[in-house]
Structure 1
Amino acid sequence: LCSLFFSLSISYSLSLHQMRSDEDGLQAVDELVRTYRHSCAWFLGPFYNMVRLFHPDYVKPLLLAPASITYKDELFYGLMRPWLGQSLLLTNGTKWSRQRRLLTPAFHFDILKNYIYIFNKSTNIMHENWRRLLAEGKKDFNMFEYVSMMTLDSLLKCTFSYDSHCQECSGKSDEYISAIFELSDLAVKRQRYLPHHWDWVYHRSAEGRRFRRACEIVHSFTAAIVQDRRSKIDQQGPPESFTQTAKRGYRRTVDFIDVLLLSRDENGEGLSNEEIKAQADTFMFAGHDTTASAISWVLYNLAMHQEFQDRCRSEINDLLSGRDSEEITWDDLSSLTFTTMCIKESLRLHSPISAVTRYYSQDMSVPGERIIPAGSICLISIYGTHRNPDVWPNPEVYDPMRFDPDKSKQRSSYAFIPFSAGPRNCIGQSFAMAEIRVVVALTLRRFRVLPGSKPVKRFYMIVMRTEGGLPLMLEPLMPAQE
């Protein structure tokens, strides 16, 4: 395979230093992109090799490939299978196609509108905590800590109609929430320690036993809710759609589990309890940490660029001026034009997910008459594509005007791919963007966000984070709501 890559004129690198996920490692990737511009081959010890791609023209044919020939590789995704099961994230072929069709209604706009009230409420709780802590004299706020708990709070309500009160517990978490955090950490550690890639080694290790125990907790929680909800629907019929009555709490509205239980394919068959459990576990995994990272980095970038923060705040204040309530509605989201530009530029510069990986059952053609052999792992670098100087002039500069509609028309639609693209794009991207806009708008309405007391060094876990947290300072702008 090595000689084949040479003959195809694909640049290569043997530097394991560039596999690091800290600030130095990310800067090494920046240098890699500046050097090779479109792609390179990587060799990870004697066992794995891959092609890494970071230019829209090279990424496009891979992301557009039909689902019938596109597969998730076991190197990166297979290690999560004991946790996430046969979910949309991990399945392939006809099974994936059927699941995608059945899950699509769960992310229809009519369903997403239901969740805006939840986003507002969870954000209000976070802001109340911030005001209390500011009154007690707190200065630096680790955004990841607070925003991650807030997005988890929202996701539990949207997925299960479960109010964990996790934002109000002074750092104490219930067993399920603790298990979610532990599984995320253990998944990263396993991926980075090669001997633990073999199940028979990992399951005998202390970390493997912790992973199995956390899986049991998460699976038991989800299975109990799915079984109970199916029984209630069988006895009482489906819940009513979202109404003002439901909004005021007199009756529970439709959540993610309800939609999955009620979905039917063309043959009138629905998802099994096991399939629903896998989708819900995946939604919890993929939904809270990525969105928390995105929100935290938006606030960081606006703290570092007060002129853009002021312009966003002016847009938000104009939108909410004269209203009795500060609640952001679904219809408001389309009016947050400049704020959305700032969010997108932050997603470009600090994309929560650094890459997606695939392999293909047939040879894949990329520009320059190059061929990627069937079965090769293809790492589609979101980070590299977003920072490619051939696509983004001065890519390290935060400039929301890149996303002015006129400028966006001039770029490839595969130059900006924070949610991936093509048939296997992120099914929850509209959900995520709605939550990000609500949280950012309410936060800028009520607080001025300022840089923290220490410099930030990036660090990728499953998502883009920082070493030692992301400290920011907050200055309240309005009295707390009643």
Structure 2
Amino acid sequence: MPRLSLSWLGLGSVAASPWLLLLLVGASWLLARVLTRIYACYENSRRLQCFPQPPQRSWLLGHLGLIQSSEEGVLYVQDLVRTFGDVCLWRVGPLHAVIRIFHPTCIKPVLFAPAVVAPKDKIFYSFLKPWLGDGLLLSSGDKWSRHRRMLTPAFHFNILKPYVKIFNDSTNVMHAKWQRLISEGNTRLDMFEHISLMTLDSLQKCIFSFESNCQEKPSDYIAAILELSALVAKRHQNLLLHMDFLYYLTADGRRFRKACHLVHNFTDAVIQERRRTLPDHGIDDFLLAKTKSKTLDFIDVLLLTKDEDGKTLSDEDIRAEADTFMFGGHDTTASGLSWVLYNLAKHPEHQEHCRQEVQELLRDRDPTEIEWDDLAQLPFLTMCIKESLRLHPPVMAISRCCTQDIKLPDGRVIPKGVICRISIFGTHHNPAVWPEPEELHRTDVRHERDEGGAGADAAALSGAARPRGAAQEA
């Protein structure tokens, strides 16, 4: 048997068995990977020295944990924006680097880069994969492009218009519940909780044509969606639980699996039931009848849509898109609406102006509910909503992972392999972009109201209407 000299390890000559050779090859491969990774981190660290960074917690943790999902975390982001202005370096542990971006000039090269150069960062999105599958939020490349084209008809005005009646009905249920609580002596309520149930109620009707009455009685499906959203956010804050095999050993991981199973069963049951009711022919007549009866929902569109080759979506794809829109639609909308009401309550003069605008629009009308065509006739309310979204964006940030170097306008380069954290909140509160970003232009509002009426009033109110340097950034 051939012998292998290991004298350089102080082991002398040993029999060169296949298992030993395999072990040596494996150890060499692992060592090469580790050394390559260490060198890449060292090289990136050297190239990232041109980016300023705030003080780290330690060399081991880096900046991990400095930004929490709390008011203190939001204030810390504001401090970062005021201190660094456009970008800063953020360390996640000793090896991972993140570039936080707060200014449109630095955001543009990242978002305008091809999808293969700056794809979605998969760390956070991977937590959603077992729940949302390969829907528009998580898919990429050709699959994303194909699904995006196929879903475009779902957002045609003729499909969206009837949904306004659904929104009115769901809102009326919420208002009736508030009136009942007031009559019972309650003077406080959790606004976000009530509005979340209202948006979930609306989405179930628009996506599934399903009447859950979730605003009035418990719903296992709605409870599962709320639990999944909370569990994903919680997992993101714990670095150890980013590893799937550890997470699913925990109580939260088991709850996540159970809730996913419940949500998927509900969506699958709706899809199968709807497939049985679809006609084998006469699709155009079927669509016309559904549209006239105002019952065409998201599942109908997904079941009937075809790509340019005549291929339809699979049941798995339909479930992924339906679950994605339930997740993406309820929480962000509820957050946006809650902050709008909060900001109007802080500024009663603007709240009264909005009320007068709506009452003037609905004067001598029957019915008195808002309709689709009315939405374009509320300029001041629209500006209030936009300004609230600037102050409190429902999505605080998005992430991209650089697969190639990306050059910024000032000449600095974001190296390949680095994650870019595009701070929507930070950009909206950047004093280099918005003058006095924390405040409404209330003095200008009163002045322009005297000079130019509601249209000028609305333009003056919304800081989002006229960002500093907007023309140059566009």
Question: Given the two structures, how large is their TM-score scaled by the length of structure 1?
Answer: 0.80
3-state DSSP of counterpart to 1:70: coil
CA offset at residue 241 of structure 1? Answer: 4.3
Q: How does 1:153-164 map to 2 (within 5 A)?
A: 153-164=201-212
| Between 82-91 and 68-77, the greater mean CA deviation after superposition | 68-77
In the alignment, the residues of structure 2 paired with residue 52 and residue 183 of structure 1 have an alpha-carbon distance, to the nearest angstrom, of: 27
3-state DSSP of counterpart to 2:123: coil
Pick from 388, 394, 398 the counterpart of residue 430 of structure 2.
Answer: 388
CA offset at residue 69 of structure 1? Answer: 3.3
Which residue is equivalent to 1:10? 51
Q: How does 1:353-364 map to 2 (within 5 A)?
A: 353-364=395-406
CA offset at residue 289 of structure 1? Answer: 0.8
Deviation track 1:300-319 (CA, whole Å, cap 9, x = no partner) reads 00000001111111111111
Which residue is equivalent to 2:454? none
* C-alpha contact 1:18 1:29 (8 A) present in aligned 2: no
CA offset at residue 7 of structure 1? Answer: 4.0
Q: Which amino acid aligns with 2:239?
A: L
| Between 56-65 and 283-292, the greater mean CA deviation after superposition | 56-65
- Structure 2 vs 1, CA of residues 242 and 309 (structure 1 numbering), >3 Å: closer, same or farther? farther
Which residue is equivalent to 2:271? 226
Deviation track 1:112-143 (CA, whole Å, cap 9, x = no partner) reads 11211101111111111111211222212221
Pick from 242, 248, 252 the counterpart of residue 197 of structure 1.
Answer: 242
In the alignment, the residues of structure 1 paired with residue 269 and residue 313 of structure 2 have an alpha-carbon distance, to the nearest angstrom, of: 16
Matched, 1:137 2:137: no
Which residue is equivalent to 1:343? 385
- Structure 2 vs 1, CA of residues 56 and 242 (structure 1 numbering), >3 Å: closer, same or farther? farther
Which residue is equivalent to 1:411? 470
Matched, 1:52 2:100: yes
* C-alpha contact 2:432 2:468 (8 A) present in aligned 1: no
* C-alpha contact 2:88 2:101 (8 A) present in aligned 1: yes
CA offset at residue 188 of structure 1? Answer: 1.1
* C-alpha contact 2:433 2:468 (8 A) present in aligned 1: no
Which residue is equivalent to 2:256? 211
Deviation track 1:21-42 (CA, whole Å, cap 9, x = no partner) reads 2112211111110111001111
Q: How does 1:55-66 map to 2 (within 5 A)?
A: 55-66=103-114
* C-alpha contact 1:73 1:359 (8 A) present in aligned 2: yes
In the alignment, the residues of structure 1 paired with residue 290 and residue 299 of structure 2 have an alpha-carbon distance, to the nearest angstrom, of: 18
Q: How does 1:86-165 map to 2 (within 5 A)?
A: 86-165=134-213
CA offset at residue 220 of structure 1? Answer: 0.7
* C-alpha contact 1:69 1:361 (8 A) present in aligned 2: yes
In the alignment, the residues of structure 1 paired with residue 136 and residue 465 of structure 2 have an alpha-carbon distance, to the nearest angstrom, of: 35
* C-alpha contact 1:301 1:398 (8 A) present in aligned 2: no
In the alignment, the residues of structure 2 paired with residue 50 and residue 36 of structure 1 have an alpha-carbon distance, to the nearest angstrom, of: 15
Which residue is equivalent to 2:368? 326
Which residue is equivalent to 1:28? 76
Which residue is equivalent to 1:182? 227
- Structure 2 vs 1, CA of residues 414 and 320 (structure 1 numbering), >3 Å: closer, same or farther? farther
| Between 182-191 and 357-366, the greater mean CA deviation after superposition | 357-366
Deviation track 1:408-456 (CA, whole Å, cap 9, x = no partner) reads 69625979xxxxxxxxxxxxxxxxxxxxxxxxxxxxxxxxxxxxxxxxx
* C-alpha contact 1:17 1:25 (8 A) present in aligned 2: no
- Structure 2 vs 1, CA of residues 236 and 182 (structure 1 numbering), >3 Å: closer, same or farther? farther
Q: How does 1:222-261 map to 2 (within 5 A)?
A: 222-235=267-280, 238=283, 239-241=286-288, 246-247=293-294, 253-261=295-303
Deviation track 1:374-431 (CA, whole Å, cap 9, x = no partner) reads 232111100100000101111111346353797369625979xxxxxxxxxxxxxxxx
Unaligned runs of 5+ in 1: 248-252, 416-482
Matched, 1:40 2:99: no
CA offset at residue 94 of structure 1? Answer: 1.1
CA offset at residue 245 of structure 1? Answer: 5.6
In the alignment, the residues of structure 2 paired with residue 134 and residue 125 of structure 1 have an alpha-carbon distance, to the nearest angstrom, of: 14
CA offset at residue 17 of structure 1? Answer: 5.2
CA offset at residue 3 of structure 1? Answer: 5.6
CA offset at residue 189 of structure 1? Answer: 1.4
Matched, 1:278 2:278: no
**Would you tell me which structure has more helix in proportion to its own residues?**
2
Deviation track 1:45-97 (CA, whole Å, cap 9, x = no partner) reads 13532111010111122222233433222211111101111111111111111
Q: Which amino acid aligns with 2:470?
A: R
Which residue is equivalent to 2:14? none
Pick from 304, 307, 310 the counterpart of residue 265 of structure 1.
Answer: 307
Unaligned runs of 5+ in 2: 1-40, 57-62, 442-457
Q: Which amino acid aligns with 1:10?
A: F
* C-alpha contact 2:390 2:464 (8 A) present in aligned 1: no
In the alignment, the residues of structure 1 paired with residue 67 and residue 138 of structure 2 have an alpha-carbon distance, to the nearest angstrom, of: 24
* C-alpha contact 1:353 1:382 (8 A) present in aligned 2: yes
| Between 19-28 and 79-88, the greater mean CA deviation after superposition | 19-28
Deviation track 1:196-227 (CA, whole Å, cap 9, x = no partner) reads 11111111111111100100000111011112
- Structure 2 vs 1, CA of residues 113 and 391 (structure 1 numbering), >3 Å: closer, same or farther? same
- Structure 2 vs 1, CA of residues 110 and 317 (structure 1 numbering), >3 Å: closer, same or farther? same
* C-alpha contact 1:114 1:242 (8 A) present in aligned 2: no
In the alignment, the residues of structure 2 paired with residue 392 and residue 410 of structure 1 have an alpha-carbon distance, to the nearest angstrom, of: 9
Pick from 406, 409, 417 the counterpart of residue 367 of structure 1.
Answer: 409
Larger radius of gyration: 2
In the alignment, the residues of structure 1 paired with residue 129 and residue 291 of structure 2 have an alpha-carbon distance, to the nearest angstrom, of: 40
Which residue is equivalent to 2:3? none
In the alignment, the residues of structure 1 paired with residue 464 and residue 137 of structure 2 have an alpha-carbon distance, to the nearest angstrom, of: 31
